[in-house]
Amino acid sequence: MPSRTAESMGYRHSTELPEDLWIAANCPTQFRPRISKHASIADDACRDIRADMVRAGASPAVVQGPGCINPVAGNAMALWFPEALPERLYIASFMIEFAFMHDDLADNAKTSEEFDERNRTLIGSLDDAGSDKRTGQSLALKSLQARFAVQALEMDAPIGSWLLEEWKRQFGVSSEERDAAKTLDEYLKLRLVDAGADIFLVMMRFVSDTDMTRAEIESVKYISDIIMYGHILWHDCVSWKKEFEAFASGNAGSLVNAIFIVQNSEDVDEPTAQKILYDKTLEYERRYCQERDRFMETCSPRSEFHRWFDLLELSTGGNALWGATSPRYHKTSPGPANGLGNGGEIASAHGNGDGHARAQEAVSPYSVIHSSSQAETGAKSSSSSPEGIERAGSEKVDESVCTPVSFKSDMHGHATARTGMSPSQLALAPYTYISSLPSKGARDKLIDALNVWYGVPETRLSIIRHVVGVLHHVSLMLDDIQDNSPLRRGFPSAHAVFGVSQTINAATYIYTKALQESLKLSPVSTRLLFDQDELEELHIGQALELHETFHTEPPSIPQYFDRIEQSFVPFRKKTRQAN
């Protein structure tokens, strides 16, 4: 599609941004962003919804977090939708700022059930089908959520209805669906809905001066989806550090990010995964341009399609710049002066050039890709790297093995030794991590039940529990590597956190320690536990399963029952040792 001037594109509500700001950000896009002339409207809406949330009794931790406002580059809504109609920019900004606060609340859920319940509550508030108790606080929050829904419908009933429809789809994605994606393609398809890419398109139609119909927008969605994949990947690059820290510190129940997917699917470290996603973002943009041009040449659509693609490309540049400089993702970026609770006048972040003058101070996230592994200095650990990988609310770990503060996770996802950490603690770190994850305690219940018949003394029984637990967790660590599974019980697998080599080493090391522990029982018990024939059967069974999975050769029914029989080898070991 030939280059077009600002006049031919019909820019009516936006202006150019300083060139040095764009260059410093080093974003993976060729599309130059513009900013709305009415950016102060977006800022006012964001402050209003947060002030309203305070009055409704929302948690200060959620209300005070960064959202759309970005003093360096400008409000997200002013950058994403620079050609937005001023009369629609306020309510749209009100809605997206609320969504950011809800994301912070939902993403900080420590369990999948808590995540799903928070999303259900939001959806229920939009259609009055919520199941939460109708307290004064919940009613106040409901009224805020209904406010933008009603106003959107009053402004444009068909598009407003579509907007709410997509809103419910986005927040209807369950935590199980979010954790199910194993490949980047699966992940991107999921995130079109879950990350708000689909609602982004509808919002662009709602706020913009265009008469594109829903049918027309959906007819070229296969094209817009391509560039939205780039939006999603860039978002994951710039938000990775924040999300990883929240997860590692126990403030988030899962880690949903393309970097995590690439690290596991391609067995690479974090900087390499960042570079892969940066390049893929550029590749998706190239593919978008090819499909856009092919469509325009072969279909000769009406001129409004030209404008639609123009708006999409403006949003791409704006999304890239906002993500690169936003205090929501970068602690080095200056935060907004929200003025909540002090009654003072709040200056706009736009129009005076002060925020833009600080552009060179903001660190480009792509430069962070190459510097994130640098060692930190100082008496205290940096707040940007969490203390320990042990999950909040997890089972208590034996501190003699590895205390929670004896190791931390760097941006590569690997454990790094700290002063005072013994070599044995470092060797055991992957095992300590996997054994700290939430568990239903089924093994201990089974052992206790068997002991009703066997009557094993408690001193011996505690050794049996310990050895069985060790062997169980060793099998989990190795199974996750062999199955290339990035998750275990909804959390990153040990090898995803510490790397494959260190996890295998920890598994073999703790296996030998389990052997030593079993010797406290009796030589006979040790021989039963480490019976050569049954260990051989166990490994051959695993080898057959791996072979059949890799070569997609399913076993016959009799062979399948043989696999089940082999899976009971650990059970027989437990009962023999107890006896």
Same domain membership, residue 122 and residue 246 = yes
Same domain, 408 and 327: no
In-domain check, residue 165: yes
* Rg, C-alpha atoms of the chain: 27
Strand partners, 16: 34
The answer to whether residues 320 and 437 belong to one domain is no
Contact 227, 284 (CB under 8 A): yes
Q: What is the DSSP string of 524-552?
A: HHHHHHT-HHHHHHHHHHHHHHHHHHHTT
Give the contacts of 412 (CB within 8 A, at least 6 positions apart): 269, 270, 271, 373
CB 116 within 8 A of CB 254: no
Which of 312, 338, 364 is a domain's end point? 338
Looking at the fold, whether 308 and 209 belong to one and the same domain comes out as yes
491-492/34-36 β-pairing: unpaired
CA-based angle 390:394:400, to the nearest 5?
60
E-state strands within 30-111: 34-36
Classify 564 as helix, strand or coil: helix
Residues 322 and 415 in one domain: no
Q: Flag whether 240 is in a domain.
A: yes
Q: Are 332 and 413 contained in the same domain?
A: no
| CA nearest neighbour of 544 among 558, 561, 563, 557 | 563
Q: How many CB atoms lie within 10 A of CB 484?
A: 13
DSSP letter (8 states) at residue 397:
P
Clarify whether residues 115 and 250 are in a common domain.
yes
What is the C-alpha separation between 101 and 387, in angstroms, rounded?
Answer: 25
**What's the CATH code of the domain at 457?**
1.10.600.10
Question: Would the CA dihedral through 248, 254, 256, 260 be positive or negative?
Answer: positive
Query: What are the CA-CA distances from residue 260 to residues 190, 266, 268, 271 (Å)?
Result: 15, 10, 10, 11
Give me the domain span that covers residue 228: 34-338
Question: Would residue 343 count as lying in a domain?
Answer: no
In a domain, 476, yes or no: yes
How many residues does this entry show for the chain? 579
Q: Do the beta carbons of residue 563 and residue 544 sit within 8 Å?
A: yes
Looking only at Cα atoms, what is the longest distance across the chain? 88
Measure the CA–CA gap between 573 and 579, rounded to whole angstroms.
10
Per DSSP, the three-state class of 518 is helix
Asked if 136 and 234 sit in the same domain, the reply is: yes
Phi and psi (nearest 5°) for 16?
-75, 155
d(CA 105, CA 114): 10
Q: Classify strands 407-409 and 34-36 as parallel, antiparallel or unpaired.
A: unpaired
Whether residue 408 sits in one domain with residue 264: no
Which pLDDT tens digits describe the chain residue by residue (579 residues)?
544 444 446 799 999 988 878 888 889 999 999 999 999 999 999 999 888 888 777 777 667 778 999 988 999 999 999 999 999 999 999 989 988 887 777 666 556 666 556 555 554 544 443 334 444 445 556 667 677 788 888 899 999 899 988 888 887 777 778 778 889 999 999 999 988 899 999 999 999 989 999 999 999 999 999 999 999 999 999 999 988 888 888 776 678 899 999 999 999 999 999 999 999 999 999 999 999 999 999 999 999 999 999 999 999 999 999 999 998 988 776 665 544 433 323 333 343 333 333 333 333 333 333 233 333 333 323 332 223 323 333 333 333 333 222 223 333 333 333 334 578 888 888 888 788 776 777 777 888 888 888 888 888 888 888 888 888 888 889 888 988 887 776 667 788 778 889 899 998 898 888 888 888 887 777 776 666 666 677 677 777 777 777 777 777 888 777 766 665 555 555 455 445
Amino acid occupying residue 527:
R
Q: Are 163 and 203 in contact (CB under 8 A)?
A: yes
**397 within some domain:** no
| Residue that is written with structure tokens 């529990």 in the block | 465
Name the amino acid, one letter, at 257.
Answer: N
Q: With contact defined as beta carbons under 8 Å apart, do 434 and 473 qualify?
A: yes
Nearest to 185 by CA among 250, 140, 229, 235: 229
Residues 76 and 163 in one domain: yes
Distance CA 480, CA 6 (A): 54
**Residue 41 domain-assigned (yes or no):** yes
For residue 439, the one-letter residue type is S
Structure tokens at 66: 């960064």
Same domain, yes or no: 64 and 172: yes
Domains: count for the chain: 2
Q: What is the model's pTM? A: 0.58
Cα separation, 81 vs 97, in Å, equals 14
Which element (helix H / strand E) includes 492? Answer: strand 491-492
pLDDT at 150: 81
282, 314, 338: which is the final residue of a domain? Answer: 338
DSSP string, 495-512: HHHH-HHHHHHHHHHHHH
224/133 same-domain check: yes
Q: Last residue of some domain: 338, 358, 383?
A: 338
In angstroms, rounded to a whole number, what is the distance separating the alpha carbons of residues 534 and 565? 11
Token reading at 247: 């997860």
Instruction: Tell me the residue type at 473.
Output: H
The pair phi, psi for residue 232, each rounded to 5°, is -65, -45
Distance, in Å, from the CA atom of 67 to the CA atom of 45, rounded to the nearest integer, reads: 12
Query: What single-letter DSSP state applies at residue 208?
Result: B
Asked if the structure places residue 377 within a domain, the reply is no
Question: What is the spatial distance between Cα 157 and Cα 170, in angstroms, rounded to a whole number?
Answer: 20
Cα separation values, 388 from 409, 463, 499, Å = 7, 28, 16
* In-domain check, residue 351: no
Which residue type is seen at 315? Answer: S
Place of tokens 């275990």: 488
